Structure 1
Amino acid sequence: MSSLFGKVETDVELNASAEQFFDMFCNRPHHVSNACSDKVQACALHEGDWGNHGSIVCWNYVHDGEPKVAKEVIEGIDRNNKSISYRVIDGDLMKDYKSFIFKIQVIPKSEGGGSIAHWTLEYEKLHHGIAHPETLLNLATQVSKDVDSHLIKGN
């Protein structure tokens, strides 16, 4: 019997600095759609301030070809380690999951510049018939690559 709890992770190689990439997801997530409007249409602030713990943001995105919505609270920010975690509190993911957390940590590369975005998705499925969210992890990878290209162009 498999557990309803799960975790999937991936690393995405970036040309942008850890500071640039972290800043985009922490302080300017409403600009992510500028880099990949085919995947993320909008990120709106519902409560609090951009880049602050406890703030609530709402993402409009496309997953598996379908428009989706995720309302998330910024649960943790560690500016020194360039990590941020978002807990989903409402939206499409709550149809399949009891809890869902997106974590991003951006690690500077020691040589040659660039960085690595480490994504972790932690979740609890509502029942065993729900698939693990690998396609969502793939979406995070694609969005990361688009944001990286956008940052490198200096936009």
Structure 2
Amino acid sequence: MSGYGKLQADIEIKSPPSKFYEMCCKRPYHVSNASGDRIQSCELHKGEWGKAGSVICWNYFHDGKARVSEHLIEAVNDDENLIVFRVIDGDLLENHKEFKFTMQATPKGKGSMVHWTLEYEKHHENIQEAYSLLEFVVGMSRDIDAHLMEGK
């Protein structure tokens, strides 16, 4: 028997929503410059950066291990600063049948609110919830914000 999971986090940042979204959607290959302890690289395998239907591959460091995850960009909405990634290959699928990341950046005061949603189906109910991965994207978001604010 499998188990479904959905985790969410909101991170208040100082960067404008469009800048944060641009880094995550249009220039994810720069995320390693902002969050090098977490992200080693991001490569385009098919399509165009920031376009639905494209495939990108993340090389990252999580829970003490080097990992790889290939994502299909499932949806992009430039007006809403929203992107949806569905995992199609890699380490996350060892314990999960499906895994999806949704990120949306919205204006808040002089900065933004970044909302992450992680949705997944585990191979079986004994697999832990993805809290450490949620912490990972929260930390990465803070790193990106700090990087963007350096280059004001």
Superposition TM-score, scaled by structure 1 size:
0.96
Tell me whether 1:125 sits opposite 2:134 in the alignment: no
Per the TM alignment, residue 78 of structure 1 is displaced from its structure 2 partner at its CA by 1.1
Partner of 1:105: 104
CA deviations on 1:93-144 (whole Å, 9 max, x unpaired) are: 00000000000000111x3x10011000000000011001000000000000
Task: Kindly report structure 1 stretches of 4+ aligned residues shifted beyond 6 Å.
Answer: none
1:47-83 CA distances to partner (integer Å, 9 max, x unpaired)?
0010100000000011111111000000001111111
Q: Which runs of 5+ in 2 are unaligned?
A: none
Q: How many aligned positions are there?
A: 152
What is residue 20 of structure 1 aligned with on the other side?
A: 19
1:60-99 pair list within 5 angstroms: 60-99=59-98
1:56 aligns with 2:67: no
What is the DSSP-based 3-state SS (H/G/I as helix, E as strand, rest coil) of the residue aligned with 1:26? helix
Partner of 1:32: 31
CA positional deviation for 1:36: 1.0
Structure 2 residue 150 is matched with structure 1 residue 153: yes
The SS at the match of 2:125 is coil
| Runs of 5+ unmatched residues, structure 1 | none
